Amino acid sequence: MNKIKLLHALSSLSVAAIADADKTIRVMSSTIRPVNNGKKILGTARTVSCHNDFLTVIDALNQSKAGDVLVVDSQDSTRALVGELFSTEAQRRGLSGIIVDGPVRDVEMLRKLEIPVFAKSYCPCSGTTQKMMKTQTEILCGGIAVAPEEVVFGDEDGIIVASIAQLIDLVPSAIQIQKAEEAIVDKIQEGECLIDMLNFKEHVKFLEEGLESSLSFKI
């Protein structure tokens, strides 16, 4: 499976399915939330490090290519690093999304755009444009390391980051997990009881007896 096929496969999955396939996968802090809900973010990371100054963010945008996700380590910035003009240009360039571990602004307008934008906070005051810092280096965003060209995949449940090779290994399991959950939802909607489909009683009994056990479905 190459990168293009991987991204296509991921587009039909939920972030939760990937997280269930590997519970050790890197997940950004839940403080980073979607600005415009209902959109998936999926692409390769173009990383930026800056602080209260968005000159480097502009530089990264200028270097970016279609399919990139701009990932910004704001180093605890208190001023907005991305707004309506920047995000509109990112959309025009075909970027797959923007993630800022810090403030953005023009929220009402960002919510009207198609490009997914995730951020930690909002601030009406913009940063300065006086300091050029680094792009395309390993950064910290949402409490985890993000390296250039790693895959960034997010929805309203959160954002995961992984290498292409790691995700290629996980996709088959994630597909099975998602299909199994869809089948269980169908059964519940048809009137079956969720608890009856689980080994719940046996699991609790084993735990009370001090034995190892795992909660699982019997179907």
Residue 117 lies in a domain: yes
Domain count, the chain: 2
Confidence of residue 1 (pLDDT cuts 50, 70, 90): confident
Question: Which residues lie across from 140 on neighbouring strands?
Answer: 145
Residue 59 lies in a domain: yes
Which tens digits make up the pLDDT trace of 88-131?
999 999 999 999 999 999 999 999 999 999 999 999 999 999 99
Residue 216 lies in a domain: no
Asked if the model's pLDDT at residue 219 lies above 70, the reply is no
Same domain for 187 and 113: no
For residues 174 and 151, give the distance between their C-alpha atoms in angstroms, rounded to a whole number: 16
Q: Sign of the C-alpha dihedral, residues 167, 75, 121, 114?
A: negative
Which tens digits make up the pLDDT trace of 164-203?
999 999 999 999 999 999 999 999 999 999 999 999 999 9
46 three-class SS: strand
CB proximity list for 120: less than 8 A, separation 6 or greater = 31, 32, 33, 74, 100, 101, 102, 103, 142
* pTM exceeds 0.85: yes
Which tens digits make up the pLDDT trace of 148-157?
999 999 999 9
Instruction: Give the CATH number, domain containing residue 63.
Output: 3.50.30.40
Same domain for 198 and 98: no
